[in-house]
Each structure stands twice: as C-alpha cells, then as structure tokens.
C-alpha cells in the first residue's frame, strides 16, 4: 500500500470561521494544511499575507504547506518561513533563477517546492530535480478554488515519477486543483505523494469523514 499525504486547502474554508475550520483539520487525519498565497499579479486573485499565516500557525497542529502564487517570491521567502511555513513552493514560471531560489528556501530550514502551471512541461525540471523536495503539479489554472480537474495532469504525473525514479531523487509529487474522491485513487496510483483537496473537503457534509475517506482511498 502506497503512503500518501492529504493537504486540505484553507482557501476553500469559511473565512468567518477560520479557527473552527483549522481546529477541524487538527482533529482529522489530514497531514498538512495547504495555504495558497496570491498577489493579484501572478494570478488574478489576492489571498493571505504573512500575518494571517502567522495566526494560522498559532492555531494549526499540522505543518503549513505554503504555495506562493506570486511574482518575485525570492523577496519574501524568509518572511514566510518566519511566519510559520514548513513547505515553501514557488512557481517555475515566476523564478528566472530557480536553482538559487531552491537553495534560498532550504537555507531557511523549510522544504523547497516548485509548482508547474498546466501548460508547463515536466522536461524543464530535468536539470535540477535532485534539488527539489516537492513538485506541485497544478491540475487547474491557478488563482481560484472550485475548478474542474484537467485530466492531462495524469500523464504528467507518470512522466514526473519516471524522471524522479531515473535520477534516484527523493522529490515528492503534489497535485493541486480539482482533487476529490472521484480521482484521488488514480492520482496516487500514477505516483502522487500529496493530494491538495479544497472544495472536496470544506464543502463536504462531513469534512473529517471525507478526509478519512481520502486517506483510505486505496484500501
């Protein structure tokens, strides 16, 4: 049985009851809490800043998986780490000096991740896959929650898994967007290690039970 992590995305939570929703995640079988940071420039939406992440960190018992959908992320990495980020993921498309940015993240003690938009090919990571702790494959266009899963992601997962195994790298594969009970099994079987689930968890009648069902998807 393959081990994998479930990371509910706080973007889909009820912001008027953030503490309640984070406590629900604390009590659940979730492994990480996924936090999308958007700047209104890299993606057409704006979300959380450092202060909110610091507050989330004070309430959460799970590691914070912080996904920076922002331009010039290298300017803010230390501050996001100080705010409580355990995993910091930057976009390939936003980093002209990606190798340097990976080193910068690792120097803070956080895990270093790279996210790829749906149209960005896996082959672009060939030269530095060994330096990346996590690759986040966007299975929707980044910027908004509740979108439909792009099925072209499946062959991308398999291709990425092949690259990781060929290079004997320890890189984890994360899938972000449109993930739910309907496709979690095939994603994990294709090679996914971390499933980000937003609407599938927070819009469910019983979010804790849904997280449990995601964790048991291959049983």
Task: Give the residue numbers marked as catalytic.
Answer: 36, 176
Task: Name the token pair of 151.
Answer: 């099925």
| Terminal-to-terminal C-alpha distance of the chain | 8
Rounded Cα distance, 169 and 163, in Å: 8
Contact 21, 30 (CB under 8 A): no
Checking 102-106 for CB contacts under 8 A at 24+ apart, the result is: 102/128, 102/131, 102/132, 103/131, 104/74, 104/77, 105/77, 105/81, 106/133
Q: What are phi and psi of 114, to 5 degrees?
A: -125, 130
Residue holding tokens 């929703």?
21
Contact 133, 87 (CB under 8 A): yes
């Amino acid at each position: 049985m393959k081990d994998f992590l479930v990371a509910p995305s706080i973007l889909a939570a009820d912001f008027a009851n953030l503490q309640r929703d984070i406590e629900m995640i604390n009590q659940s079988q979730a492994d990480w809490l996924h936090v999308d940071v958007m700047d209104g420039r890299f993606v057409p939406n704006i979300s959380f800043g450092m202060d909110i992440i610091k507050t989330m960190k004070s309430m959460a018992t799970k590691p914070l998986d912080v996904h920076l959908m922002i331009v010039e992320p290298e300017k803010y990495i230390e501050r996001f780490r100080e705010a409580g980020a355990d995993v910091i993921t930057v976009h390939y498309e936003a980093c002209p000096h990606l190798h340097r940015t990976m080193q910068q993240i690792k120097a803070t003690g956080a895990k270093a991740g790279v996210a790829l938009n749906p149209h960005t090919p896996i082959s672009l990571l060939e030269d530095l896959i060994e330096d990346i702790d996590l690759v986040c494959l966007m299975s929707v266009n980044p910027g908004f929650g509740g979108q439909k899963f792009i099925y072209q992601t499946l062959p991308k997962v398999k291709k990425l898994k092949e690259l990781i195994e060929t290079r004997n790298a320890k890189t984890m594969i994360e899938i972000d967007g449109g993930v739910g009970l309907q496709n979690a099994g095939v994603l994990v079987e294709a090679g996914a290690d971390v499933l980000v689930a937003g609407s599938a968890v927070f819009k469910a009648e019983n979010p804790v039970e849904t997280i449990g069902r995601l964790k048991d998807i291959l049983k």
